[in-house]
Amino acid sequence: MEKYGLHDRQRRLLYLLNCEHGMITGKDLALKLGISERTVRNDITQINEKMAEHQLEILAVRGKGYALKVGSRKVFHELFSSNNGMLTREDRIKFLIMKLARTSEWCDLLELEDDLFVSHTTLENDIREIRNRISEHEPYLTVLREGNRIRLDDDEVKRRNIMVRLYSENWDYDSRDGIILEDQLMSPETLDMLRRTWKDILRRNNILVDDFGMIYILIASAVARTRLIEGHILPSAIDGQTFHLHQARRIFEAVDMFWECMEREWKVSADVSEHRWMENILGQLVILNFTDENKEAMAGKTDRCCGNFADLLMGEIRDKYHIPLDLAGDFRNDFILHIQALMNSMVSVQTQSKYIIDELRMRYPFIGDLCHYLCRRLKDLCGVRMSEDDEDYLLPFLCDAWQSVARKETKGRIRAVLVSHFNYGLSHYLINEIRIRYGNRMTIEGPFPIYDRQKIDSVEPSLILTTARMNAFREYPIPVLTISPLLERTACENIEKCVDTLVNRYMYPDPPKGTHYFRHSGLELFVERRMELSQILGLMEENLRGNYLVNQLLTICWEKCYYILLSTECLFIYMIGSHGQSTVMTSVVCKYVTTWQQNRNIRKIIFMIVSEDEIQYLGSFYRLMQEEASENFTDR
């Protein structure tokens, strides 16, 4: 920013630290930003120098990592506010979308070029991205153009949805005001009055919403107030939702009370359409705020088709991928409520959780794939348009369901032994700590002495946890982890990874043909020159066809393949083969990093064609590719 002198990468670094809510190592920051650890250290030094007088500091703790200390949230907000300069493309796009959504007039492109200090080509590229975001995806609002002028189509509902979404995406939950995109429409004074108004109304009507719901209804109210004052009214034909809730009457009464307050305090009058629009939003937020106590009752009040769709799709996952989601406790009710929310057209995802969702998708790539499959099927069944945001919302439910199924399927089958050279008291302290943390995922036996190999073998363990470096003098055909009674963070992470691997190997056993039949000599390449991803993919296809491993009738359409990160450095791509195509895999390791979407640190690309006859082993292929991605290939 011009005011603070921070460039885009340094702001991204601050964003990551803010999302972490704790310590993060320099190595992890470097991988997420696609830069070296030395560059991370240099950026942190510059940030601390420039922000010292503004009460913002990055703390370094030797052996643990970095943490963000923010004395003034207002300064932090200004770092990400478009009002203080637009150094990045993302800044410009947010500014342009908001400007187009708020005005009904034509915007002159030449004037925009001057205002944003960008070239004609840069602005044209920004406009294409805006079309991609709001015309080709939700809310599907057309960008109109006449020569050098552009504007948005006159759809007030969609314009409001865009504004509400943009403000809520840029909300800071770590402060009271929370406003990053602060302006006359979204001032702290306006939101404070709306907050007090809605808290009182919701309390009086015994309506509960979560934090996201409260912020969403506040922003929607502020947008509605300003649009009405400016003369932008909703169409009279707007429909109200039919809520299958025991709270439907309370929702209607709450909205009536809100508009009465708006007219009394701000002299803002609302017609029936304004009531319907606000009722739709509040009703959908209530649906999304289910708890363990009320979710079964709520699921029973949804449309009957929601339960039918949930049963159908859970059956497809069981038959196609052999994952019995019906064993996953509350997943069916969660899924039914999610389907009802989709049919009510609720934008429900919190974009602040995107950082966490990306980590989940990397940890459970096959579950991310299943989530993608479910959302595509829901699009067909429900007749609604789906986006990646809908996958982001469903993914945590699906990850939790898979863990529940895995715990039941692997109960008593994964055994760990603790081998300790410490005395009785310390050894039993350690094993109890391990049982508290991991007892629901595996059976832990011991503690056993180091010398008694026979007793250790008698348990037939899957994993050995030891307080001494046993691998220096004794070999085992299973994983052996050396730990301390203090169970430091690194040790816990290693145990988690090892248990995940063991669970995956049980849930996704090796295919009947083994783990190497789809690997062929000459298909593992090393590229020593800089190449774009498209060039690398072309090289991989050429190599496959040159080795006569791809059916001549098979067309590899890279745009339709499925892409997912297995680690910050490894990209996995696959497609389902046809015409009798056999399963085959090829990989490329790059000397220089390449880029996929926003990920700038890709060093390994794995491509797989999965035979139509082996789709049921897709989870096994994912597991094998994850294990391969975890291998050290960067020092090759």
425-451 pLDDT tens trace: 999 999 999 999 999 899 999 999 988
* Angle of helix 211-229 versus helix 272-287 axis, rounded to 10: 170
| CA 70/CA 60 separation, integer angstroms | 14
Alpha helices in 388-423 (DSSP H): 388-410
| pLDDT confidence tier of residue 627, bands split at 50, 70 and 90 | confident
Instruction: Report the chain's mean pLDDT, rounded to a whole number.
Output: 86
Q: Tokens 């899924």 appear where?
A: 335
Domain ranges (residues) in the chain: 8-73, 81-154, 156-289, 295-410, 415-507, 519-629
Query: How large a percentage of the chain has pLDDT more than 70?
Result: 88
Can you name the CATH fold of 81-154? Arc Repressor Mutant, subunit A (1.10.10)
CA distances from 78 to 4, 308, 532, 632 (A): 9, 48, 35, 40
Tens of pLDDT along 378-412? Answer: 988 887 767 777 788 889 999 999 999 999 999 88
Mean pLDDT for 564-579 is: 91
| pLDDT confidence tier of residue 292, bands split at 50, 70 and 90 | low
Which helix (H) or strand (E) covers residue 546, if one does?
Answer: helix 533-546
| CA 462/CA 181 separation, integer angstroms | 52
Looking at the structure, give the CATH architecture of the domain made up of residues 8-73. Answer: Orthogonal Bundle (1.10)
Which helix (H) or strand (E) covers residue 458, if one does?
Answer: helix 453-458
What CATH superfamily classification does 519-629 receive?
Mannitol-specific EII; Chain A (3.40.930.10)
CA distances from 55 to 5, 73, 128, 238 (A): 15, 9, 39, 48
Tens of pLDDT along 56-102? Answer: 899 998 888 999 988 877 777 777 665 555 556 777 888 899 999 99
- What pLDDT, on a 0 to 100 scale, did the predictor assign at position 36? 83
Radius of gyration of the chain (CA): 27
What does the block give as tokens for 445? 């036996």
Tens of pLDDT along 167-189? Answer: 887 776 555 555 555 555 677 78
Same fold, 8-73 and 415-507: no
Can you name the CATH fold of 415-507? Rossmann fold (3.40.50)
